[in-house]
Amino acid sequence: MLETLNNLMLGFSVALQPQVLMYAFVGCLIGTLVGMLPGVGPLAGISMLLPATFGLDPIIAVVLLAGVYYGAMYGGSTTSILMRLPGEAASVMTCIDGYEMTRRGRAGPALAICAIGSFVAGTLGVLGLMLLAPTLASFALRFGPPEYTALLMMGLLVLAYMSGGSMPKTLAMAGFGLMLGMIGIDAMSGYTRFSFDVVELADGIGIVPVAVGLFGISEILMTASHQMGALPKTPTLRELMPSRTEWRQSSGAIARGSVIGFLIGIIPGSAHIISSFVAYGVERRLSKTPERFGQGAIEGVAAPESANNSAASGAFIPMMALGVPTSPVTAVMLAAIMIHGIAPGPTLITERPELFWGFVASMYVGNVMLLIFNLPLIGLFVSLLRIPYSYLYPCILAFCILGCYSVSNSVVDVWIMLAMGGVGFVLRKFGFDLAPVALGLVLAPMLELSLRQSLAMSAGDYAIFFQRPISAVMLGLGVLMLLVSLKPLISRKRDWRSQVGLDDQA
Amino acid sequence: MGSRFRGNDGGGVTLRRQFFEVLAFMTESTSTPPASRGLRSDQVAGLMLIALALYVGWMNRVYPLGTLAEPGPGYVPLILAVFLGAMGLLVMIAGGKSMPLAVMDWRERWRALAILAACGFAAYGLERLGYRITMTALLVFFIGVLERKHPARVVTVAVGFAFGTYYLFATLLRVPLPVSPWGV
């Protein structure tokens, strides 16, 4: 414990440097704006900002990008509550009761509970990151190729389970992403695969063009002809204070949402989105008056907002401790660290303590900044939405092109982004979830290498995955998830996922 | 029925549509697609996946598979092609009750194609015409031609954005951006 405190002090000595503080603030500010704009979201925001971090110190780069991530988590809630317009997907659940509260003249308390819930959840999430990541990292030192293979397989199966909906569709998308990851030079044999004689493809396909194309461009293709609704009156500072009853009702929801969000955040997938759905569903089931949900229940705002912020912190645990991203956002952040020549993984925390603990401390600082600045600045942020969407989406597209091009100064990346935008548009039309594609792409090289190394270790015997206890447990868990997800098909009962709104197979 | 409540980063599925789907769920309303003959959306999706799997399998024939003890560069792609084909088959088989292909909403397709084509032009012109000229042309097309805004506003936004972002990224943040042969 004392060691943790000492390390945290080291982290604060880094995070409280004026330059780091400034970048944390800039990150939170950009993140809040990005979270508010429909069609941008944290992933596109981080991808666009990535080239600008190349010249920065690694800790500053990570602090800036992390600020964008959790700033976006908060920013998405403002438009959800005031305009029934979720700036990013994790805020969809906040719309339901948040906007209903606005209609009843309680927008102020909804926004305040949102900010406070986000702060509490973010802080608890950082505490969890601080305590769990070093433990997990020291445990991960026992991992060999079979364990990494099992971990990655388990991650993809859990993602398919948690995503809800059609498991074959989700797994197919993971397979598609893994296939994209096969493009480029094979690390073990030196063969260049599926490159179509394009020199740039020998390096493989980067996560940034794929992610920006799948999520940013396809979103704009779907929504470019839409118009935004009228802006509401933004509440004054005095109107923000929740009543005593609202405090009482939301405190439990914030606590539960934080825990749920954190636990789901560690699991691969679009954790912050899933967590907000699950937290809302759990709150509604636990409530003695579930009929209030959908009619402006403050718990319906507090729980999903706390959950998505806590999940954002939880997602950093496998990223920092194992070097394994659990979502497209953490994959881009991992790329940002690796660009600086730092290899994330179990040894990062011991070899670069100032980076890990500085990052942890900066998250505390970032949470405080979000709480202090965002509530008074709500009016300013909302005024950004006065920009008509017909002006906004062309600029977002131009930013996407700029961001993708500048990652490696390659027009090929822009072409890949556009192709992925078109593919994403069609896949969305057919009801596919796109997150597994991005995750599969990132995990593909790790999965292939560890699988082939494992087989080489065992002279081609697949039993190696079941003979080693850690990999056997992880594969067992993955298979268990697969079987549990098949249960509703056999028993024709709705499982918990459908009850909280994650399943479409009702 | 298409996916409900599933989201992702960077905006997730169409947010507004997703929101109304959430509302539909909250009110326990379900929309059953009208019965009709012909192919279903999931059947077509499954076929697309199988076609992709076959294509990857065919492309993979040039890479050595190796042995189990020493898998070659074609080993994992082949496993993935088989896996993708199997998932495609499952999606197709289970897709009998999905939305009929004929009722799928493709209203945005022409605008989407126009946007992609314009961005394609930008990708083509970026290193030939330079960042500022390409972005100005792109924004003039979007705001002036597609959105039909007032010419003065179009020029202001297009030129302001192209030159402003160039100054921010290339000059201040030192991100190398392409310049035209004429120095712009």
Token pair, residue A471, equals 């990999």
pLDDT at A456: 92
Which stretches of chain A drop beneath a pLDDT of 50? 503-506
CA distance A6 to chain B (A): 35
At residue A316, what is the residue type?
A: F
Give the number of other CB atoms < 10 A from CB of residue B150: 10
- Cβ separation B73–A84 shorter than 8 A: no
pLDDT at A321: 80
Chain B residues in contact with A188 by the CB 8 A cut-off are 73
pLDDT band, very low/low/confident/very high, at B27 (cuts 50, 70, 90): very low
Nearest to A175 among B15, B83, B112 (CB): B83
Residue B66 region, left (φ>0) first, then alpha (ψ -120 to 50), else beta? left
Q: How buried is A121 (Cβ within 10 angstroms: 0-12 exposed, 13-18 middle, 19+ buried)?
A: buried
- Cβ separation A402–B177 shorter than 8 A: yes
Nearest to A406 among B67, B112, B177 (CB): B177
- Cβ separation A504–B16 shorter than 8 A: no
The answer to whether A410 faces chain B, any CB pair under 8 Å, is: no
Nearest to B84 among A87, A90, A172 (CB): A172
pLDDT at B6: 38
Whether the predicted pLDDT of B19 surpasses 60: no
pLDDT at A218: 87
pLDDT at A73: 75
In terms of Cα–Cα distance, which of A460, A406, A504, A478 is closest to A209?
A406
Residue B1 Cα distances to A161, A485, A501, B30, B36, angstroms: 18, 18, 14, 10, 14
CA distance B118 to chain A (A): 10
The domain limits of chain B are: 41-103, 109-172
The domain limits of chain A are: 2-499
The answer to whether A89 faces chain B, any CB pair under 8 Å, is: yes
The residue of B1, B3, B4, B6 whose CB has the most chain A CBs within 10 angstroms, and thus the best one to mutate to test that interface, is B6
pLDDT at A271: 64
pLDDT at A107: 83
CA distance B78 to chain A (A): 10
Q: From CA A61, how far away is CA A50, in angstroms rounded? A: 8
The residue of A152, A171, A387, A391 whose CB has the most chain B CBs within 10 angstroms, and thus the best one to mutate to test that interface, is A391
pLDDT band, very low/low/confident/very high, at B8 (cuts 50, 70, 90): very low
Q: What is the number of residues in chain A?
A: 506
The answer to whether A97 faces chain B, any CB pair under 8 Å, is: no
The residues, ordered by sequence, that sit 6+ positions from A476 with a Cβ below 8 Å of its Cβ are none
pLDDT at A504: 43
**Cβ–Cβ < 8 Å for A326, A272:** no
Tell me how far apart the terminal alpha carbons of chain B are, to the nearest angstrom.
51
In terms of Cα–Cα distance, which of A119, A84, A23 is closest to B16?
A84
- Cβ separation A215–B126 shorter than 8 A: no
Nearest to A186 among B1, B73, B149 (CB): B73
pLDDT at A269: 58
CA distance A53 to chain B (A): 9
pLDDT at B10: 40
pLDDT at B25: 43
In terms of Cα–Cα distance, which of B163, B139, B168, B164 is closest to B151?
B139
**Cβ–Cβ < 8 Å for A101, A232:** no
The residue of A36, A221, A415 whose CB has the most chain B CBs within 10 angstroms, and thus the best one to mutate to test that interface, is A221
A184: DSSP letter: E
Render pLDDT for A237-257 as a digit per residue (tens, 0 to 9): 667 788 888 888 899 999 999
Most confident of A87-91, A417-421, B36-40, B67-71: A417-421
Chain A residues in contact with B163 by the CB 8 A cut-off are none
- Cβ separation A391–B71 shorter than 8 A: no
Render pLDDT for A321-342 as a digit per residue (tens, 0 to 9): 888 787 777 877 887 777 777 7
Residue A402 Cα distances to A268, A408, A410, A412, angstroms: 29, 11, 11, 13
- Cβ separation B7–A456 shorter than 8 A: no
Any idea which residue has 């179509």 for tokens? Answer: A196
